[in-house]
């Protein structure tokens, strides 16, 4: 392995509260990038020197060496930036699929999301921009809000507001010249999720992929009946389980990696941490208001 990020799902798995429970003893890490240094004589679809990422959810990437069947990894396109490859499988793919699978979005359409400063949120901004979509991005109130807003605007965000600003505004005030969103991406739940739904257009969809507030998603009855709002959940792990090394997975990886090579996708702000100092990386990953991705690297 060359690099592997620390994601919330990794920590939740170690805590025993994530649905994926690998048999013990187990190695942490759902995603990362490695280089092939040796291969079996019967392996034909991979060559030495290829950069690969996991094709299964329980490979365990927080280690310097992995021995596995060839079908347990996917080769990524040549020239893909190393750290982009390391962070491709979880947040980047989650954002890609949510923008692709739940509404027929065309250039000029609008998407609204909370947790916009998260890894998935920052990728959603950039993928949307690459597709010509507009984004309304909601973040928690915080001391350094102007700095955070500037950063999200630099990624391609069209509107960035805090939770309190969203609640005190209205679609008419917040969306001058923009259509109401067809799609909402919810990683928070609670009151924040209700706020997103209020901005959706008739027949819009809210996709829940996280619950940072640990509050339930409560849907006002009128939004279901009169606004025809659809509320669905999404789990990227399930998609990967059903599509390992599939044609659609390859197409997704190719498009995302091409955007990265063109400079249209950047990974979130990050810090490289040697695996020997993993405690520091975990502490950084769970810190409040963090926008910095912790990425483990390994001595070769």
Active site residues: 18
244-274: b or e for each residue (b if 16 or more CB lie within 10 Å)? Answer: ebeeebeebbeebbebbeeeebbbbebeebe
Q: How far apart are CA 77 and CA 193, in angstroms?
A: 37
Inter-residue contact 45 to 70 (CB < 8 Å): yes
Q: How far apart are CA 194 and CA 217, in angstroms?
A: 8
Q: How far apart are CA 275 and CA 270, in angstroms?
A: 15
- Euclidean distance between the first and final Cα of the chain, in Å? 9
For residue 69, which phi and psi values (nearest 5 degrees)?
Answer: -65, 150
Residue 97 half-sphere exposure toward CB, CA atoms < 13 A = 22
Helices and strands in the chain, H and E counts: 12, 12
Q: Order across the sheet with 270-274: list the strands.
A: 3-5, 293-297, 270-274
Alpha carbon 211 to its chain's center? 14
Residues with Cβ within 8 Å of residue 96, at least 6 apart in sequence = 123, 127, 252, 255, 256
Inter-residue contact 160 to 152 (CB < 8 Å): yes
Q: Structure tokens of 187? A: 């990683």
């Amino acid at each position: 392995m060359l690099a592997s990020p620390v994601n919330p799902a990794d920590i939740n798995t170690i805590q025993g509260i994530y649905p994926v429970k690998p048999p013990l003893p187990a190695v942490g890490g759902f995603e990362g990038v490695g280089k092939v240094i040796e291969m079996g004589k019967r392996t034909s679809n991979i060559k030495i020197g290829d950069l690969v990422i996991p094709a299964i959810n329980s490979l365990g990437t927080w280690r310097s060496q992995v021995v596995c069947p060839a079908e347990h990894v996917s080769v990524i396109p040549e020239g893909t930036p190393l750290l982009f490859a390391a962070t491709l499988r979880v947040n980047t793919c989650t954002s890609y699929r949510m923008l692709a699978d739940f509404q027929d979005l065309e250039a000029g359409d609008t998407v609204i999301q909370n947790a916009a400063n998260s890894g998935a949120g920052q990728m959603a901004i950039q993928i949307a921009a690459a597709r010509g979509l507009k984004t309304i991005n909601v973040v928690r109130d915080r001391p350094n809000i102007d700095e955070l807003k500037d950063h999200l605007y630099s990624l391609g965000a069209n509107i960035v507001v805090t939770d309190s600003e969203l609640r005190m505004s209205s679609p008419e005030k917040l969306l001058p010249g923009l259509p109401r969103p067809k799609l909402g991406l919810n990683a928070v739940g609670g009151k924040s999720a209700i706020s997103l739904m209020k901005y959706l257009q008739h027949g819009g969809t809210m996709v829940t992929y996280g619950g940072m507030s640990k509050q339930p998603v409560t849907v006002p009855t009128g939004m279901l009946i009169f606004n025809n709002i659809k509320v669905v959940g999404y789990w990227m792990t399930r998609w990967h389980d059903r599509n390992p090394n599939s044609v659609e997975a390859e197409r997704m990886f190719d498009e995302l990696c091409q955007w990265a090579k063109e400079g249209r996708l950047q990974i979130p702000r990050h810090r490289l941490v040697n695996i020997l100092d993993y405690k520091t990386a975990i502490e950084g990953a769970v810190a409040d208001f963090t926008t910095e991705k912790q990425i483990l690297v390994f001595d070769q």
